[in-house]
């Protein structure tokens, strides 16, 4: 009996130690971020930001930011891909690559991620073996969206063609092209992070399309002719919930529209107006666990305006927090604690 109690005590202590370790990762004990000036942490949706030991300088963008797990993050600022192994508190460079446009980073799960330059052809894979630049299947057009899960990668190009890879991006094959009535260019492909068969595509003047079978068949959404649909956010908590930023070509009004049926029908939820600036293709991010909540950004260095981080809640409406940074280029959430948000920062002419 005593031996059984001893074993139980050891197991309880081990469990408590493991839980304490997880809490230490989630708690974000750092009061200062080192190794990069380009990523900050907030636990109150932008009301306060963790300071950085290094200052942002010159001109630089951080569209690439992804939390691979509770401890490991990747970021891309200027020409440098960096990694953190302690929940975003300290960073070290992985390597430098010269790109025409700062890459976005898409988490593929199990420690793998893909970096891709929006409206360019740059493509890179990162995993336990390191980072390797890949040959883009898009040679005459450009990449405007990528989704990935392990070895399975899908990307869309500016001509409306969807591409598929089952070997981690080493090779790609075309699936299908979004059916459009007349030639146009596409702004964005967005992929359901839990189902790569569920995809949204937005284009100029002809609205948005949705597929549930991996691009083999497409359906036009309620954002039809006359709409320029520029960006999307798909809820990781409920794939029936999407948001789309669109410009109504008939009167040039801008709005973010919401859908509750997988992106088939949309209604306006946030209109541009007094106190609410919606730029073309704003940074948007869906809350990882609450399907009623998403975030979008407006920032500018002009006249030292700073950045508004908007939070929309279907139950409570629109609120915002403001900071002095020139802009926020990307938003990521801790997989262990959705109250921990990581923000990728922009700088324009802040110093030498």
DSSP calls for 30-89: -SSBBS-SSEEEESSTTSS---BSSPP-SEE---EEEESSSS-EEEEETTEEEEESSTTS
CA distance 78 to 81: 9
Q: Could you tell me the two tokens for 344?
A: 């990728």
List the domain boundaries for the chain: 37-308+318-348
Tally of CA atoms within 13 A in the half-sphere of 230 that contains its CB: 16
pLDDT score of 181: 81
Average pLDDT, the chain: 92
Q: pLDDT confidence of 19, banded at 50, 70, 90?
A: very low
Q: pLDDT confidence of 28, banded at 50, 70, 90?
A: low
Instruction: Name which of 74, 78, 45, 48 is nearest 61 in CA terms.
Output: 78
pLDDT digits (tens, 9 = 90+) for 312-339: 999 999 999 999 999 999 999 999 999 9
pLDDT digits (tens, 9 = 90+) for 86-145: 999 999 999 999 999 999 999 999 999 999 999 999 999 999 999 999 999 998 899 999
| Contact of 203 with 220, CB cutoff 8 Å | no
Instruction: Name which of 49, 86, 44 is nearest 67 in CA terms.
Output: 86
| Contact of 288 with 236, CB cutoff 8 Å | yes
| Contact of 266 with 258, CB cutoff 8 Å | yes
Residues in the chain: 352
Is the pLDDT score of 1 beyond 60?
Answer: no
Q: Could you tell me the two tokens for 182?
A: 């007349």
**Section 34-55 average pLDDT:** 97
Compute how many other C-beta atoms are within 10 angstroms of the C-beta atom of residue 90: 17
CA distance 149 to 144: 18
CA distance 95 to 76: 10
| Cα 16 to Cα 5, 12, 22, 257, distances in angstroms | 16, 6, 10, 45
Q: pLDDT confidence of 74, banded at 50, 70, 90?
A: very high
**DSSP string across 128-179:** TTEEEE---S-SSS-EEEEEEETTEEEEEETTSEEEEESSTTSS-EEEEE--
CA distance 69 to 14: 22
Residues 6+ apart with CB under 8 A from 177: 159, 160, 161, 162
pLDDT digits (tens, 9 = 90+) for 227-264: 999 999 999 999 999 999 999 999 999 999 999 999 99
Global pTM?
0.91
Q: Is 107 helix (H, G, I), strand (E, B) or coil?
A: strand
Residue with the bigger pLDDT between 47 and 9: it is 47
The CATH classification number of 37-308+318-348 equals 2.130.10.10
Query: For residue 85, which phi and psi values (nearest 5 degrees)?
Result: -110, 5
Instruction: Name which of 197, 149, 148, 203 is nearest 175 in CA terms.
Output: 197
pLDDT score of 352: 52
**Section 21-37 average pLDDT:** 69
pLDDT digits (tens, 9 = 90+) for 190-218: 999 999 999 999 999 999 999 999 999 99
């Amino acid at each position: 009996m005593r031996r059984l109690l001893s074993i139980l005590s050891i197991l309880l202590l081990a469990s408590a130690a493991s839980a304490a370790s997880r809490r230490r990762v989630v708690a974000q004990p750092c009061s200062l971020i080192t190794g990069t000036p380009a990523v900050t942490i907030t636990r109150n949706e932008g009301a306060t930001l963790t300071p950085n030991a290094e200052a942002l300088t010159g001109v630089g963008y951080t569209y690439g930011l992804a939390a691979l797990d509770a401890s490991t993050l990747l970021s891309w600022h200027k020409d440098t891909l960096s990694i953190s192994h302690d929940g975003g508190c300290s960073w070290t460079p992985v390597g430098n690559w010269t790109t025409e446009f700062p890459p976005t980073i898409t988490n593929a799960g199990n420690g793998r991620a893909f970096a891709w330059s929006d409206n360019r052809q740059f493509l890179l894979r990162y995993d336990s073996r390191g980072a390797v630049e890949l040959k883009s299947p898009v040679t005459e057009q450009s990449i405007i969206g990528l989704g990935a899960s392990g070895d399975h990668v899908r990307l869309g190009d500016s001509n409306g063609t969807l591409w598929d890879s089952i070997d981690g991006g080493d090779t790609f094959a075309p699936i299908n092209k979004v059916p459009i009535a007349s030639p146009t260019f596409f702004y964005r492909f967005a992929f359901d992070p839990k189902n790569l068969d569920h995809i949204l595509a937005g284009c100029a003047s002809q609205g948005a399309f949705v597929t549930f079978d991996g691009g083999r068949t497409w359906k036009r959404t309620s954002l039809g002719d006359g709409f320029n649909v520029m960006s999307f956010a798909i809820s990781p908590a409920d794939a029936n919930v999407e948001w789309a930023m669109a410009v109504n070509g008939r009167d040039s009004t801008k709005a973010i529209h919401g859908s509750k049926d997988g992106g088939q029908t949309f209604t306006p939820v946030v209109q541009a107006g007094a106190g609410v600036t919606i730029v073309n293709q704003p940074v948007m991010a869906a809350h990882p666990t609450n399907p009623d909540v998403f975030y979008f950004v407006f920032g500018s260095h002009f006249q030292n305006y700073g950045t508004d981080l908007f939070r929309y809640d279907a139950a409570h409406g629109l609120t915002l927090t403001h900071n002095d940074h020139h802009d926020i280029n990307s938003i990521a959430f801790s997989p262990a604690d959705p109250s921990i948000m990581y923000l990728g920062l922009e700088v324009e002419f802040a110093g030498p």
